[in-house]
A and B are shown apart, each in its own frame.
Chain A
Amino acid sequence: MNLTVNGVAHEVGGSELTPLLDVLRLEVGVMGPKAGCHQGGCGSCTVLVDGEPRRSCLLPAGYAEGTEITTVEGLGGPEALAPLQQAFVHHYAAQCGFCTSGMMLAAQAYIDRGGTDDHEAIQAALGGHMCRCTGYSKIIDAVAAAARGDSFDLTTTAVGKYTRMANGGAE
């Protein structure tokens, strides 16, 4: 099978029935999608397939052939965080981070299809995603901020400082 992941083409073996999640993690080596429950209940494996959020643990890999797959690595990296990623940092929307990549891809798809900062609409869009750390409100605040187009100067926040240190940036 030929899969395009974050703009890079990969040829992978195995059955078309294999969950896309297993192909991404075990064969392609992309670790952004997390294997939480492996049965569609937690949302942490969510990736974008042609821009649409899909549970990669539920999607037979054969269905992703010929599509553009985007994982959290494709949104933006430490050197150039995407606006949504900056919003998550600014609003302290990640604690352990396990659900975060799935949350961000579902949220990015929500924003891309014209989603607003309406909290109920964001809750509906993220309804299949479990977070056991933050109590959700900060995540929803972050998505609302990104949907509004808020901009952030992360160097002025404590979180930004830690992020810079974690990236090896000089203080």
Chain B
Amino acid sequence: MAAATVAMDAATEVLTPTSEEEAIEAFGDGTDVLVVGGGTIVVPDLTYRRLQPKKALLLGRSGMSGVSKNGSRVTIGATTPVQALVDLPAPVGPCAANVADFEIRSQGTVGGNVCAGEGHEAPRGDLQGALLAVGATARSASAGDVTEEPLEDFLPRRGERLLLSISFDEPAAGAYAGLDRPHTHDYTALSVSGARAADGTVRLAATGAGSHGQRLTSAESGDAEAALNDVSPHDDALASAWYRTKVLPVLVRRVLDELKESE
């Protein structure tokens, strides 16, 4: 198998940009381009030949890594390792700390995590819920056009654009609750993130309750059960729809309680 991997790679054109501008140019409109951040999600797919791309865009040396802060505005470059977020306040920090293990967090990137397509076993994108809860915006490029938009608008088309950075205002309070993972390698089966903005607005979002992270707007006024109006949890290798449906309101309640305590 390993020898076959070496042979297969020769058919893929590898692009290695050394700046954000070069990355945008190399990505083009994204046709036939596989974007590789840290590699933790896509390299096994290449090894086992689930992916056989014409081009691979390796972002490791593109200089798009780093967390910067301007007042209360936090900006995270797309190739920042997930591990760099674990000390941020809730919900983003605890959510990042619940991704895989130390080694994978240190290699896997925020952009790769947010942009991962739905896996063949389960949804991916552990960080999506926490970033939706803090009202993050996504700056992305395609065909040379760079736009910044709310993350919830970006997520459905994340496979078509090159994510450059994510920004959000640090919330006044935040909370995170998730199911324990049976194995460090598993993606998040279900988690709920909540944040109260400086103006008092509460935002809730879930990871694992749909094909990508989703807002739970119906529960934001305080009715945990109403979260089920916003999502239709499904069956997959990590959990059944029945179990997710039972647990989602429990996690929402915990997050709401924690936000209330911090008032």
Which A residues are closer than 8 A to B by beta carbons? 14-19, 21-22, 25-26, 35, 38-41, 43, 46, 52-55, 57-60, 62-63, 106, 124-125, 127-128
Contact = CB atoms under 8 A, between A and B. Distances in A.
Interface in B12-53: 12, 14, 16, 36, 38-40, 43-44, 46-48
Interface residues of B, number: 32
B2 A58 contact: no
Contact of A128 (B1, B5, B104): B104
Interface string B86-118: 000000000000001111101100000000000
A52 B56 CA distance: 25
Nearest to B1: A38
B10 interface: yes
A86 B100 CA distance: 30
A125 B102 contact: yes
Interface of B: 1-3, 5-6, 9-10, 12, 14, 16, 36, 38-40, 43-44, 46-48, 56, 58, 60, 100-104, 106-107, 183-185
Contacts of B46: 17
A16 B40 CA distance: 15
A38 B47 contact: yes
B102 A124 contact: yes
Nearest to A38: B47
25 contacts: A18-B9, A22-B6, A39-B185, A40-B44, A40-B104, A40-B185, A41-B183, A41-B185, A43-B103, A52-B106, A53-B106, A54-B103, A54-B106, A55-B104, A57-B43, A58-B40, A58-B44, A60-B43, A63-B58, A63-B60, A106-B103, A124-B102, A127-B101, A128-B100, A128-B184
B195 to A, nearest CB: 26
Contacts of B39: 58-60, 63
Nearest to A110: B102
A54 B44 CA distance: 14
Contact of B6 (A14, A39, A60): A14
B14 to A, nearest CB: 5
A128 B47 contact: no
B44 A57 contact: yes
Contacts of B183: 41
Contact of A59 (B6, B43, B102): B43
